[in-house]
Chain A
Amino acid sequence: NAGVTQTPKFRVLKTGQSMTLLCAQDMNHEYMYWYRQDPGMGLRLIHYSVGEGTTAKGEVPDGYNVSRLKKQNFLLGLESAAPSQTSVYFCASSNPGTGGLETQYFGPGTRLLVL
Chain B
Amino acid sequence: RKEVEQDPGPFNVPEGATVAFNCTYSNSASQSFFWYRQDCRKEPKLLMSVYSSGNEDGRFTAQLNRASQYISLLIRDSKLSDSATYLCVVANAGKSTFGDGTTLTVKP
A residues adjacent to B (C-beta < 8 A):
31, 33, 35, 40-45, 48, 50, 56, 58-59, 88, 90, 94, 96-97, 99-104, 106-109
In the complex the two chains form, is B32's CB within 8 Å of A90's CB?
Answer: no
Q: Tally B residues with Cβ within 8 Å of A.
A: 25
30 A-B contact pairs sorted by A residue (CB < 8 Å): A33-B96, A42-B6, A42-B87, A42-B101, A43-B44, A44-B98, A45-B95, A45-B97, A45-B98, A48-B94, A48-B95, A50-B94, A56-B95, A90-B43, A90-B44, A96-B94, A97-B32, A99-B31, A99-B32, A100-B91, A100-B92, A100-B94, A103-B46, A104-B46, A104-B89, A104-B96, A106-B43, A106-B45, A108-B42, A109-B42
Tell me the interface secondary structure of chain A in the complex: loop
Contact flag A42-B100 (CB < 8 Å), given A101-B91, A109-B43: yes
B17-54 with Cβ < 8 A to chain A: 30-32, 34, 41-46, 49
